[in-house]
Amino acid sequence: MHPILADPRRLLWYELAWLAAGVGIAALLRLTGQAEWSGALEFALPICLVWSFVAVSSYYVCRSLPWSQRRWPVALGLFGGVSLLAALGWLGLGEAWDSLGGLLLRGKPFVALSSPGWVMYFAAGFALYLLSLLAHDVLVAFESVQAAARREAESRVLARDAELQMLRTQINPHFLFNSLNSISALTGFDPAAAREMTVDLAQFFRRTLALAERERITLGEEVALCGHFLAIEKRRFGAKLQADLQVSAEAAACLLPPMTLQPLLENAIKHGIRQVDGGGTIAVDARVADGMLHIAVVNPVAADDAPPNAHGVGLRNIRERLAVLYGPRARIVWQRSPAQFAIEIHLPVDKESGA
């Protein structure tokens, strides 16, 4: 669709510009002594109005030569040729309107130009069409810049969605295969425990899949998911792993993106508890205060084992996810002391509407 005809506001400005051009032509005719004011205006304004709709065709001329593949000799030739052709039409229209329109409305031509007058009129038509071409050119360039920006924004959104999807359905193969190995070991001496672990594993994956489909889940649902996760990890690591989850009822009702807490626990075990002789306790504290949901996870780490960015990738992922979803309203901070790692997430409180 033509960008000017499609937009009433643009069309209005466009027509005003053409009327101004009409006044300009009338003034030119008056100043060069070719016609009187009234005749010149009656002659030029209707022609410019009609011609404005012919001139929109320059949009398609500009589009046929996109900036990126434009060679200047070709462009100049095309623009000059088309303008010349248009000026011929403009001359024909002028002659016809002057004689026919004048005859019908006034009984005589509006201006009855001399030959030099018609040459001047012709030149003005050429210049106007050329001007229209240049104006449309700017418009096309402007449009393509906007389209590129829009495409870029769209592709960013798509890439982000794909990444989120990937994050959500990501199944940690280490966790899966090690858990299956533990179940295999348990079947030999504690079949009941093996069965429980199988159920926990199934529940964990089932919930992960179900929750990952949703934009937001309640912290309570996430904590239930983490319960299965921790039950499995406790079987694997035995007494080394203790967990202390303190989640207030108000906090449990808050909405947050799925798989926000679980990766934190996974990190706490992988980089913390597992590396510490004798293990330790992961403390989770979730509460609502001042309109914000605060989630804190604290776990011991091995003092001598300090790969500075071992937590890095996973935490950066969470930070980016929260930044995408909440912008500056979400905060995530972490801190490592010699024997402890602490991470805090602060989110704006968001509750299920009508629930």
Partner 1 sequence: MTSSPRLRALIVDDEDLARRLIREYLQGHDDIEIAGECDNGLDAVKQIGALSPDLVFLDIQMPRLTGLEVLELTGRRAGVIFTTAYDEHAIKAFELHAVDYLLKPFSKARFDDALARARTLHAPAAPAAGAGLDALVARRTAPLERILIRDREQVHVVPIDQVECIEAQGDYLAIHAEGKCHLKPQRISEIEEQLDATRFLRVHRSFIISLAHLQAIERPGPDRHAARLRSGKRVPISRSGYEKLRTLV
* Position 188 contacts partner 1 (CB under 8 A): yes
Among 99, 178, 203, 242, binds partner 1 (CB under 8 A): 178
* Position 231 contacts partner 1 (CB under 8 A): no
Count of residues touching partner 1 (by CB under 8 A) = 26
d(CA 244, CA 250): 18
Amino acid identity for residue 17 in this structure:
A
- Interactions with partner 1, residue window 246-305 (CB under 8 A): 274-277, 302, 304-305
* Position 170 contacts partner 1 (CB under 8 A): no
* Position 242 contacts partner 1 (CB under 8 A): no
Rounded least distance, CB 186 to partner 1, Å: 6
Asked if residues 201 and 183 have their Cβ atoms less than 8 Å apart, the reply is: yes
Three-state DSSP at 347 gives: strand
Among 168, 236, 287, 319, binds partner 1 (CB under 8 A): 236
* Position 174 contacts partner 1 (CB under 8 A): yes
Please give, one letter per residue, the 3-state secondary structure of 199-266. Answer: HHHHHHHHHHHHHHCCCCEEHHHHHHHHHHHHHHHHHHHHHHEEEEEEECHHHHCEEECCCCHHHHHH
Rounded (5°) CA angle 109-123-136: 110
* Position 169 contacts partner 1 (CB under 8 A): no
Q: In what order do the strands lie in the sheet with 241-247?
A: 241-247, 280-289, 292-300, 340-348, 331-337
* Position 183 contacts partner 1 (CB under 8 A): yes
Q: Residue 264 contacts by C-beta under 8 Å, 6 or more apart in sequence?
A: 297, 318, 343, 345
Closer residue to partner 1 in complex, CB, 176/224:
176
Closer residue to partner 1 in complex, CB, 183/345:
183
Closer residue to partner 1 in complex, CB, 290/304:
304
What sections of 106-190 are H helices per DSSP? Answer: 115-169, 173-189
Closer residue to partner 1 in complex, CB, 258/279:
279
Closer residue to partner 1 in complex, CB, 274/319:
274
Rounded least distance, CB 184 to partner 1, Å: 4
Rounded least distance, CB 229 to partner 1, Å: 16
Q: Residue 206 contacts by C-beta under 8 Å, 6 or more apart in sequence?
A: none
What is the DSSP code (8-state) at residue 171? -
Residues near partner 1, by CB under 8 A: 173-174, 176-178, 180-186, 188-189, 235-238, 274-277, 302, 304-305, 307
